[in-house]
Amino acid sequence: MDDSPQHAPFSPSHAIPARIPPVKALPTHVAAMLDSIADGIMLLDREWRFTYVNQATERLLKRSLTDLGGRGIWECYPDLIGSAYYRAYHEAAASGAPRTCTAYHAPLACWLEARAFPDANGLTVIFRDVSRERQQSAQLEYHADHDYLTGLPNRRRCTQVLAHAVAQAGEAGVAAPLAGIGAQEPYAAGVVVLFVDLDRFKEVNDAFGHAVGDTLLCGVAERFRALLAPSAFVARVGGDEFVFILRDARPGQAERFAGTILAGVSQPFQVDGHTLLLGASVGIAQWPEAGDTADTLLNHADAAMYAAKAAGRFQFRVFHLDLAQGLRQRLQLRADLHAAMADDQLVLHFQPQWSLQDGRLAGAEALLRWQHPTRGLLPPASFLDVLLESPLEPAVGLWVMRAVCRQIAAWRRAGLPVPRISLNLSARQLVMPGLAGLLADLAREHEVPCGLLDVEVTENTLMTDLDSAAAALDELKRCGISASLDDFGSGYSSLAYLTRLPVATLKIDKSFVAVLGSAPEALAVIRGVIALARSLGMRTLAEGVETRDQQRLLAGEGCDAVQGYLLGRPMPAADFAAVMGASAVARGD
Ligand code: C2E
Ligand code: CA
Ligand code: CA
């Protein structure tokens, strides 16, 4: 390439040069070679006239060599005058050095990338259509930043936007005190992160399939978009997780906005002929109290969201430091639980149940305990909710079933008169396919009659998926395993569904028993429950009996059995063996 500046200057572009017939004839083999190239190649002389174009040029520009040859480029393409190509070609011509330019070519509605090489004769321009590449890279850019399903920005974009907002707030925040805002409240307006997790979305997915779930998510995204003020931002950062970012939030605005989100989400959705109701839990983290980086703020908003879930869902929580402490403890607990399974730290305690008719031992409930290496014997309250949301849940559930069977077998080998033993099932365990078969197999393996097994399920467990629950209980019953309805009266307490469920025992919740002596209504409710259970052929067992008075009142109402601290706390297997032995002696068998 000749880039020495002493060539004759290019003529001014506005001058229309005379057409020069004939067009420069290239040796045939050179022309053939240039025609085989997919890029457009054109030669311009110093008067800006086409002296040659290859076939690719004819194709790309949709103009023939006969049409263009010998005419000036600016005459053929007046629209290009002043364009990026025009500037690039002129720069190449003036400097004698090559220039590259990519620009949108409106007449052909495409993006062209052109390289201009100046030489003694004029310019050689090599160009190609880069529309598809441009489109792909634009798409890539879009997809890197957006969620494919809802079209909302994704987690990556969310973090970027938040980092930017925090940086801006940081600059403004430093300036604020100087501007005379009181030292107590240096940040009158700030950045707020709201982490939103849909409640029970998984159930919709499980019940109606992923297509309905996806449509629902799009509906939620649509609603969230509609909630946005101009300076706000919303992203989908995970399956059913969304993040709102408010800039310049006034005190109290975050809480009000969380209320708006909850109200918005709780309006019914219509999807594929289904009316779907959703809830959400919202965690709020405010800059700078909850952190000064995007990551910390997101983590802390997430932690606050967890706290909202733990507090019963469908509400919001604002992050504070105690919450972080709680979060760390939960994570630690989760890790410890893994070790607990591996090291056999789980144990079962047994709490006796007594018949009120004849005072005999009627059964026992197996209750899970964790012999923690440093914290001692832990009750389920201190680890069950972490366990239930961890991947270990099925393994622990299976462990309980097996441990109960193994224990009954051991007692029977010792010649003890073992009554029916109840074990607690989680919601997920109950609807696990093949549960009845599994439990029956475990019993058979340990030579335990299925009639010695009872499963306790709570109302909440049943209501999650009534049909599957009813089917599971039917199957258990066919195997000879009975069921108890636990905590009756503490949940939805919808009596209507009771008729549909094969439940042998109704366990009256301890909250009723606790107020028996003091609240006359409690007695009336218990009387009603006992009558209802009788009419459905169920037996009643009252939990949490702590005083003689309570026991007397329950006996007076015709309650069948009791369980509580008064007559025996949950105890290790060896202690319960002693209870069985003694009760056998008392009965004289
Ligand atoms: P639950 O099924 O309602 O169990 C009865 C709870 O009441 C037990 O608490 C028991 O210790 C307590 N209790 C018994 N008598 C009295 C009394 O007279 N007064 C009072 N105030 N409380 C009494 P625990 O053992 O801490 O178990 C708590 C919950 O943990 C259980 O409630 C049950 O829902 C769950 N749980 C226990 N073991 C298992 C298990 O193996 N699997 C599953 N999924 N859940 C379990
Ligand atoms: Ca129970
Ligand atoms: Ca209970």
* Rounded distance from Cα 562 to ligand 3 centre (Å): 12
Burial class (CB in 10 A: 0-12, 13-18, 19+), 423: buried
Contact 424, 368 (CB under 8 A): yes
DSSP state of 31: H
**C-beta 430 within 6 A of ligand 1:** no
**C-beta 104 within 6 A of ligand 1:** no
Q: Say if strands 453-458 and 420-424 run parallel, antiparallel, or are unpaired.
A: parallel
**C-beta 381 within 6 A of ligand 1:** yes
3 state DSSP class of 310: helix
For the CA of 384, the nearest ligand: 1
| Largest separation between any pair of C-alpha atoms in the chain | 128
For atom 29 of ligand 1, the residue with the nearest CA is 380
DSSP state of 21: S
- Taking residue 226's Cβ as centre, other Cβ atoms within 10 Å add up to 8
**C-beta 424 within 6 A of ligand 1:** yes
Nearest to 367 by CA among 319, 316, 431, 424: 424
For atom 35 of ligand 1, the residue with the nearest CA is 380
Question: For 146-176+186-319, which CATH class?
Answer: alpha beta
Residue linked to tokens 């067009």? 23
pLDDT value, residue 362: 96
List Cβ neighbours of 294 (8 Å cut-off, separation of 6 or more).
159, 160, 162, 163, 166
Nearest to 456 by CA among 436, 482, 480, 434: 482
495 vs 177: CA distance, rounded Å: 61
Q: Which ligand 1 atom lies nearest to the CA of residue 487?
A: 3
For the CA of 457, the nearest ligand: 2
3 state DSSP class of 84: helix
* Rounded distance from Cα 424 to ligand 2 centre (Å): 5
**C-beta 367 within 6 A of ligand 1:** yes
Q: Which ligand 1 atom lies nearest to the CA of residue 400?
A: 41
* Rounded distance from Cα 510 to ligand 3 centre (Å): 7
pLDDT value, residue 535: 83
Q: Which ligand 1 atom lies nearest to the CA of residue 423?
A: 41
> Quick one: how far is CA 573 from the chain centroid?
41
Give the residue, out of 348, 367, 487, with the most ligand 1 atoms within 8 A of its beta carbon, to mutate for a pocket test: 367
Radius of gyration for the alpha carbons in the chain, expressed in angstroms and rounded: 39
pLDDT value, residue 587: 54
Long-range contact set of residues 152-157: C-beta below 8 Å, sequence gap at least 24: 152/221, 152/224, 152/225, 152/234, 152/235, 152/236, 152/242, 153/233, 153/234, 153/235, 153/236, 154/235, 154/236, 154/237, 155/235, 155/237, 155/238, 155/243, 157/235
**C-beta 428 within 6 A of ligand 1:** no
For atom 25 of ligand 1, the residue with the nearest CA is 367
* Rounded distance from Cα 139 to ligand 3 centre (Å): 56
Give the residue, out of 462, 543, 551, with the most ligand 1 atoms within 8 A of its beta carbon, to mutate for a pocket test: 543
- Helix or strand (DSSP H, E) at 576: helix 573-587
**C-beta 426 within 6 A of ligand 1:** yes
Count how many residues are written for the chain. Answer: 589
**C-beta 489 within 6 A of ligand 1:** no
- Taking residue 161's Cβ as centre, other Cβ atoms within 10 Å add up to 18
The alpha carbon torsion through 35, 40, 43, 44 (nearest 10 deg) reads: 150
The domain 348-587 is placed in CATH, from the list 3.30.460.80, 3.20.20.450, 3.40.50.300, 3.60.21.10, at 3.20.20.450
Burial class (CB in 10 A: 0-12, 13-18, 19+), 525: middle
For the CA of 564, the nearest ligand: 1
**C-beta 284 within 6 A of ligand 1:** no
**Which residues does residue 371 pair with via DSSP β-bridges, in sequence order?**
377
**C-beta 486 within 6 A of ligand 1:** yes
Q: Which ligand 1 atom lies nearest to the CA of residue 563?
A: 15
pLDDT tens sequence for the chain (589 residues) = 444 445 678 887 667 777 776 566 777 787 888 888 888 999 999 999 999 899 999 999 999 888 898 899 999 988 888 889 999 999 999 999 999 999 888 778 888 999 999 988 899 999 999 888 888 888 777 778 888 899 999 999 999 999 999 998 888 764 343 333 333 344 446 899 999 999 889 888 888 888 999 999 999 999 999 998 777 899 999 999 999 999 988 888 999 999 999 999 999 999 988 888 889 999 999 998 898 899 999 999 999 999 898 888 899 999 998 887 877 888 888 889 989 988 999 999 999 999 999 999 999 999 999 999 988 999 999 999 888 878 889 999 999 999 999 999 999 999 999 999 999 999 889 988 899 999 999 999 999 999 999 999 987 777 667 788 899 999 999 999 999 999 887 654 555 567 778 999 999 999 889 888 887 778 887 888 888 888 888 999 999 999 999 999 999 999 999 999 999 999 999 999 999 999 876 554 4
**Which residues does residue 194 pair with via DSSP β-bridges, in sequence order?**
244, 284
112 vs 488: CA distance, rounded Å: 74
**C-beta 385 within 6 A of ligand 1:** no
Domain 28-133 in CATH 3.30.450.20? The answer is: yes
pLDDT value, residue 383: 92
* Rounded distance from Cα 353 to ligand 3 centre (Å): 12
Contact 351, 568 (CB under 8 A): yes
239 vs 338: CA distance, rounded Å: 26
b/e map 313-347, b = 16+ CB within 10 Å: ebbbbbbbeebbeebeebeebbebbeebeeeebbe
Q: Which ligand 1 atom lies nearest to the CA of residue 458?
A: 34
* Rounded distance from Cα 385 to ligand 1 centre (Å): 13
Listing from the earlier edge strand, what are the strands of the sheet with 241-249?
A: 233-238, 241-249, 190-199, 279-286, 316-318
3-state secondary structure 276-307: ECCEEEEEEEECCCCCCCHHHHHHHHHHHHHH
Domain boundaries, the chain: 28-133, 146-176+186-319, 348-587
284 vs 196: CA distance, rounded Å: 9
List Cβ neighbours of 431 (8 Å cut-off, separation of 6 or more).
464, 465, 468, 469, 472
**C-beta 405 within 6 A of ligand 1:** no
Tokens found for residue 229: 């003020």
For the CA of 366, the nearest ligand: 1
**C-beta 565 within 6 A of ligand 1:** yes
**C-beta 568 within 6 A of ligand 1:** no
* Rounded distance from Cα 367 to ligand 1 centre (Å): 6
* Rounded distance from Cα 495 to ligand 2 centre (Å): 19
* Rounded distance from Cα 365 to ligand 3 centre (Å): 10
- Taking residue 174's Cβ as centre, other Cβ atoms within 10 Å add up to 10
Tokens found for residue 499: 């008729």
Q: pTM for this one?
A: 0.59
